[in-house]
Structure 1
Amino acid sequence: MVITVLVTWFIISRVGLDTAALRELNTDLLTPNFPLFVASSLLLMIGYAISATNWAYIVNDLGGPQIPKADAIRLFMIANLGRYIPGKIWQIAGLTALAKDRGVPPGTAVGAAVLGQGIALVAAAGLGIGLYDVILPPGYFGLISIVLIGSVVFPSYDTSIVQSWAKLWLRFMGSQTIETPSPTSGLRWLLLYFVNWIVYALAFWMMVASFDSDISLIPVAAAFPAAYVLGYLMIFFTRWTRSTRGFLDCLFITPSRFGTFWSHRGCCASLDYANRSGSSVCLLVSTHNI
């Protein structure tokens, strides 16, 4: 939770939000509808559980052992706490170390995590694609659309691509002999992550709606996966860290779409803090109770 506060404060400092802007904020606007806020947190926990089971499915499809869903969720939740340490490697390293005790070869665990992350990015980009046309320069929207469609259709049509990637990765990692993934594995993984991101997007919309009941479903829900993908791009195109994903959620919430309430930077920062705090609490509660 301390790291969550520090990361959020870093985001606020980067976008030029100072304490004076926060003092101008009408705190009465930030009183949530608590039943809806709690429901959002519960749905977020379900989303985490789906992510964990998706990873377990990929492990099994790559020749690893069949991990019980409860164990997979426990491992994934604990390892996911590593995302608050800069660098994606810590989350994957933690998952690999924990999975090894369940008989999962390190190469298989890492391969499933990396492969799942790549598929998740494609699914998230697909759900948020409608918003890219608003923020990208002319011409880029069509290019990204072609890349996304190709990354989905081509591997699904020629499933040997997915099989080759998986086998090459596991051989490079020195893993045990693996089974060849079934021809439908790539498409099944993609569908699972689409469902996963729909749950995440709905949870985000419910959280925002708990503060403002007049917002629209589709634009707000699509903002979360779109911002997630753009947060990864920030690694390569700016000197910001991946923590920019949190504030990118607010870039899509503009007065022209949702009213003047969301045009205030203090509201956006508070929304980001609620988003991060809620996800952190969900992870901690899940790892304690599962």
Structure 2
Amino acid sequence: MGLAFVALGFLSYGLSKNWNDSVAALGRLSWWTVAGSLAAVLIGLGFMLLAWRAVLAGFGSPLPLRVAAKVLFMGQLGKYVPGSVWAFAAMMELARDHGSPPRRTFGATVVGLVTSLGCALALAAITLPLTSQEVARQTWYLMALIPLIVVGLHPRVLTFGLNLVLRIARKEPLDHVLSGSAMLAATAWTMIGWLFYGVHIWLLLGDMTPGGPSLFAVAAGAYALAWVTGLLTVIVPAGIGVREGAMVLVLAPVLDAPHALVIAIVSRLAFTLADVLWAGLGFLLARNQAPQASRAEAYVAQ
């Protein structure tokens, strides 16, 4: 819990730096658009939960949905702390309390992250040429990662790579090979989640410029590329500032910089609020779910 409070402190600091712009952004958008955008983010995160849970089950640690929500979303608050290890550490500790060995949680989280990266790059590769050839040319090197990710997500290659990392860290290897069906399910859930992420930008974009459904490709590609850029900038908590700059660049063909920045800031607020709401929901849903160790101790005491 201490780590969660530290993460919330960094999260609040990141928001306070953009507070005035955030207030101005909300004033430019209708409340139902902002609410719809937040709802799309919440749904998208829900599909990401299903993807992560499918991978963890494939590694041999099936968790009840409410427990999985608690582990994933409370642990993910650690991404707002500088560095790339805090979310991993928090999730492994939370999952350990419910019977999932740290190596499986670590493996599932790495697979989930790489799968999300692959889906985001694929979505950007499909949509960006339809919106801006210039942006597509400037980001060719990111698209070049797609074949590597596809090969890396093959279950046997994936298991070998994860076990190599665990061996270097002097940890026990994974005792299950992820099945192809589990990997396909996780990829499908992840891509659906990314489509909802595209919806959240599309709704905001619709308040700024006419275009209707044709703007969805711009919206989906903009957020996908912005997220990838923020992810690869690991020294910045949750990509704060980096993601917004990338989104302004990708939206340039259809929107001027001030309006694009408004969308980027509101998007950041929507994801931040969604992270907190999901973490709170996960905590509430699993509050009566006793940790596995505690249940075992109670059984022995009887």
> Where on the TM-score scale, by shorter chain, does this alignment land: which range?
0.7 to 0.9
Q: Tell me the CA shift for residue 175 of structure 1.
A: 3.8
Separation in 2, partners of 1:269, 1:125: 22
Asked if the contact 1:47–1:197 (Cα under 8 Å) also holds between the matched residues in 2, the reply is: yes
Separation in 2, partners of 1:234, 1:149: 21
Separation in 1, partners of 2:148, 2:262: 38
Among 241, 263, 275, the residue aligned to 1:271: 263
TM-score where L is the length of structure 2 = 0.74
Separation in 2, partners of 1:234, 1:170: 24
Among 94, 101, 104, the residue aligned to 1:105: 101
Tell me what 2:42 maps to: 45
Residue by residue over 1:12-60, the C-alpha shift from the partner in whole angstroms, topping out at 9 and shown as x without a partner, is: 9xxxxxx9xx7xxxx5994312122212211211222222222111111
Separation in 1, partners of 2:275, 2:249: 26
Separation in 2, partners of 1:287, 1:232: 20
Tell me what 1:134 maps to: 134
Matched letter for residue 14 of structure 2: V
Separation in 1, partners of 2:108, 2:26: 43
Asked if the contact 1:62–1:179 (Cα under 8 Å) also holds between the matched residues in 2, the reply is: yes
Separation in 2, partners of 1:74, 1:28: 31
| Gapped regions of structure 1 (runs ≥ 5) | 13-18
Tell me what 1:251 maps to: 249
Q: Compared with structure 1, are the counterparts of its residues 204 and 110 closer, same or farther at alpha carbon in structure 2 (3 Å cutoff)?
A: same
Q: Tell me the CA shift for residue 235 of structure 1.
A: 4.8
Matched letter for residue 270 of structure 2: G
SS in 1 for 2:86: helix
Asked if the contact 1:82–1:90 (Cα under 8 Å) also holds between the matched residues in 2, the reply is: yes
| Gapped regions of structure 2 (runs ≥ 5) | 1-7, 286-302
SS in 1 for 2:251: coil
Among 7, 21, 33, the residue aligned to 2:14: 7
Separation in 2, partners of 1:78, 1:197: 21
Matched letter for residue 263 of structure 1: A
Tell me what 2:230 maps to: 231
Among 77, 81, 89, the residue aligned to 1:81: 77
Among 181, 186, 189, the residue aligned to 2:183: 186
Q: Tell me the CA shift for residue 68 of structure 1.
A: 0.9
Q: Compared with structure 1, are the counterparts of its residues 245 and 181 closer, same or farther at alpha carbon in structure 2 (3 Å cutoff)?
A: same
Separation in 1, partners of 2:25, 2:180: 55
Q: Tell me the CA shift for residue 281 of structure 1.
A: 1.8
Residue by residue over 1:140-159, the C-alpha shift from the partner in whole angstroms, topping out at 9 and shown as x without a partner, is: 62x6545414532x457x64
Separation in 1, partners of 2:25, 2:107: 47
Q: Compared with structure 1, are the counterparts of its residues 240 and 41 closer, same or farther at alpha carbon in structure 2 (3 Å cutoff)?
A: closer
TM-score where L is the length of structure 1 = 0.76
Separation in 2, partners of 1:177, 1:217: 40
Tell me what 1:117 maps to: 113
SS in 2 for 1:35: helix
Q: Tell me the CA shift for residue 193 of structure 1.
A: 1.8
SS in 1 for 2:239: coil
Residue by residue over 1:185-214, the C-alpha shift from the partner in whole angstroms, topping out at 9 and shown as x without a partner, is: 4333323322221122222222333x3252
Separation in 2, partners of 1:2, 1:268: 27
Among 262, 274, 281, the residue aligned to 1:282: 274
Tell me what 2:157 maps to: 161
Percent identity over the alignment?
Answer: 18
Asked if the contact 1:220–1:252 (Cα under 8 Å) also holds between the matched residues in 2, the reply is: no
Residue by residue over 1:49-85, the C-alpha shift from the partner in whole angstroms, topping out at 9 and shown as x without a partner, is: 222222111111112x210112111221211222211
Matched letter for residue 45 of structure 2: Y
